[in-house]
Amino acid sequence: MIMFAISSVFLGLLVVSPVYAQQPDVLYPEWQVIFDEYAANGTLVILDKRQSLPQRMVFNPERARQRMQPASTFKIPHALFALDAGVVEDEFQIFPWDGVERDFAVHNQDQDLRSSMRNSAVWVYELFGAQLGEEKARQYLTRIGYGNVDPGGDTSTYWIDGNLQISAHEQIDFLEQLYWNQLPFKEADQRLVKDIMIVEAGRDWILRAKTGWQGTFGWWVGWVEWPSGPVFFALNIDTPDKLDDLYKREAITRSILQKIRALPGSASSASE
């Protein structure tokens, strides 16, 4: 298991202050070839901050501006809400499995904050949503300016089938603030959430990311940390073939990140 100390090392290497101003979009229609390879329809936004003039690279700019339900990518801010509100004490608190058999086997067991993020155990976050309630959720969403800041719908699932929506560009903006610990939460909580987002790491890089699946479309969002700076990404694609399409989220994104030398190696995942 990759421990929290890794993230501290790389954050210490970076001394450049964040810039939240919108970087000019650079369109990459040539990425269509990779989307076609996987028979996928979607968008990808990449913000490469390894250079003095950061580039915001965009495929399918119209869709990149379109707001959609965040699905399980919302576990990132939701974990921060739960920690801040005291709904969860720390990464070691155990949430006992309720015995309900769900489609993903890894969901059918006790969870803690780390495993619930890694396994994308929706039922844990349904508990958070129910305990926070709509009014508290709206306050948190407004505080961080997350998408349309509307938690209307079922308090347990509003990020999947309710009113909450966010665009790929807005995903990037949120992630950049989290990267710099600039969200209005305790720094320790932000560092913890970033730690439990770790997917894999090498000698000089760390990949932090989260999948999301609404049923008809899926997300993969996150960033790759390098000593020279982070590379943020937010992809969403349609998933007409449901579970059979889920691997495409990471496969497409990894292929393009590798092309721009932002990520070595490859792997795939079919988590929710």
- pLDDT tens-digit series, residues 21-72: 467 789 999 999 999 999 999 999 999 999 888 889 999 999 999 999 999 9
**Domain shared by 96 and 147, yes or no:** yes
Is position 172 within any domain?
Answer: no
Is position 188 within any domain?
Answer: no
Specify the 3-state DSSP secondary structure of 72. Answer: helix
Q: Is the model's pLDDT at 10 over the cut of 50?
A: no
pLDDT for the residue 89: 94
**Domain shared by 23 and 105, yes or no:** no
**Domain shared by 113 and 157, yes or no:** yes
CB 26 within 8 A of CB 55: yes
How many domains does the chain contain in total? 2
Look at the block and give the residue holding tokens 């990149």.
64
**233 forms bridges with which residues in the sheet?**
46, 222
pLDDT for the residue 9: 36
Percentage of the chain exceeding pLDDT 70:
89
Q: Which amino acid is at 117?
A: M
Looking at residue 97, which CATH number applies to its domain?
A: 3.40.710.10
pLDDT for the residue 85: 98
Angle subtended at Cα 179 by Cα 24 and Cα 202, rounded to the nearest 5 degrees: 105
**Domain shared by 87 and 146, yes or no:** yes
Is position 175 within any domain?
Answer: no
**Domain shared by 73 and 162, yes or no:** yes
pLDDT for the residue 271: 62
CB 220 within 8 A of CB 209: yes
pLDDT for the residue 24: 76
Q: Is the model's pLDDT at 11 over the cut of 80?
A: no
- Please state the pTM of the whole predicted model: 0.90
Residues of the domain holding 82: 69-166
Q: Distance between CA atoms of 198 and 210, rounded to whole angstroms? A: 9
Q: Of the residues 72, 156, 167, 271, which is catalytic?
A: 72
CB 78 within 8 A of CB 47: no
Q: Is the model's pLDDT at 17 over the cut of 80?
A: no
DSSP 16: P
Q: What is the token pair recorded at 119?
A: 């396994």
**Domain shared by 101 and 123, yes or no:** yes
Is residue 8 among the annotated active site residues?
A: no
Percentage of the chain exceeding pLDDT 90:
86
pLDDT for the residue 111: 96
**Domain shared by 73 and 135, yes or no:** yes
Q: How far is CA 97 from the centre of its chain?
A: 24
Per-residue pLDDT reduced to its tens digit, 158-169: 999 999 999 999
Tell me the angle at which helices 168-179 and 187-196 cross, rounded to the nearest 10 degrees: 120
Look at the block and give the residue holding tokens 């844990």.
124
**Domain shared by 81 and 160, yes or no:** yes
Per-residue pLDDT reduced to its tens digit, 77-121: 999 999 999 999 999 999 999 999 998 999 999 999 999 999 999
Maximum Cα–Cα distance for the chain, whole Å? 52
Which of 123, 149, 166 is the endpoint of a domain?
Answer: 166
